[in-house]
Amino acid sequence: MNRLTVVKIGGEVVDNPQRLTGVLAAFSFIDGHKILVHGGGKTASQLCVRLGISPQFVNGRRITDAETLTVVQMVYAGLLNKNIVGELQSMGCNALGVTGADANLILAAKREVTEIDYGFAGDIKEVNSSMLCKLLQLGVVPVFCPLTHNGGSQFLNTNADTIAARVGSALSRYFEVQVIFCFGKPGVLANERDENSVIAQITRAAYQELTQKGIIKDGMIPKLDNAFDALVDGVKKINIIHSDSLRELNQGAKIGTVITLK
C-alpha cells in the first residue's frame, strides 16, 4: 500500500518565518504522498485588533463571531496559506492551498451551542477522500488551512489538529497513513517545565492514567483525543514532535512521542 504522511504545523511555526522555512524544507523532502495542515497563528488576532475587533478565546479556542470569521478567512485562506504554498513551490513541492470548501474537500456543521457559544466553529462531518486521492495521484500536495464549510456557502473555523486527524483517517482505506503533529515542545512531557521529560510512548491506557493524574491537561487533551480516534479509524502511526525535528524523524530518528492504542 502507498504511504501517505499528514503533517500538522501550529501557530508557533506559522508565526516564525525562519522556523516555518525550516519545517517546510523538511516537509518537502518527505517521500511518498503528503498533506500539510496549518494552524492560524497570531496574525488574525493582530489584524482583528487593528480593525477594532476584540479577539476572544475560551480554553485556548477562538470565539468566531461574524466579524472575526471575515478576518480569519482573509488571513488563513489568503495570506498564510498562500505564503506557505509559495515557499513550498520554491522548494520543488507542487503544493495546492485549499480550504474545506475547495472541491468540497471537508464538509462540516456549525458547532451546537452548549455551555459556550464558539460562534462559527465547525465540527467535521465528512472528508471527500475520493477527491483527495485524485489530487494526490496527480502529484499535488494539498495544503489545508483551518477552514471548512457547511455546503451552504457558510465557512467555519475548524481546529487544525482535528482536520489532520480526520483527513488521515479518511485516507487510511487507500494509503498507509502516518500523522505527525508538530508543535513547540519536543513531545508530550511528564513535567511541563522540563523539556527532557518526553514520554516516548503513550497507549490509550496510559493516556487515561496520565490525564487522571493531571500530567496531560489543557490543550494536549484534544490533541491526543484526535490522535486516538485516528488510530481507531485506521491511521497506522502518530507522532508528536517538536517542529524543528521533522527532518530527524524523516531520517528514522526515534524522537518525540509515539501514540499507540496498546
Q: Residue 61: is its pLDDT beyond 90? A: no
Share above pLDDT 70 across residues of the chain, in percent, rounded to a whole number: 99
DSSP 8-state secondary structure symbol assigned to residue 120: S
pLDDT for 117-149, tens place per residue? Answer: 999 999 999 999 999 999 999 999 999 999 999
Alpha-carbon distance of 105 to 51, in angstroms, equals: 31
The confidence band for 209, taking pLDDT boundaries of 50, 70 and 90, is very high
Q: Which helix (H) or strand (E) holds 240?
A: strand 237-242
Provide mean pLDDT across the span 42-47. Answer: 91
Tell me the domain boundaries of the chain.
3-184+244-255
Q: Residue 1: is its pLDDT beyond 80? A: no
The confidence band for 217, taking pLDDT boundaries of 50, 70 and 90, is confident
The confidence band for 221, taking pLDDT boundaries of 50, 70 and 90, is confident
The pLDDT assigned to 192 comes to 86
- Its pTM surpasses 0.85: yes
The confidence band for 115, taking pLDDT boundaries of 50, 70 and 90, is confident
Residue 233, CA distances (Å) to 89, 144, 221 in order: 32, 20, 18
The pLDDT assigned to 158 comes to 96
233 grid coordinates:
479509524
Exposure of 112 by Cβ count < 10 A (0-12 exposed, 13-18 middle, 19+ buried)? exposed
The confidence band for 185, taking pLDDT boundaries of 50, 70 and 90, is very high
Exposure of 230 by Cβ count < 10 A (0-12 exposed, 13-18 middle, 19+ buried)? buried
CATH of segment(s) 3-184+244-255:
3.40.1160.10
Alpha-carbon distance of 94 to 242, in angstroms, equals: 25
15 grid coordinates:
508565526
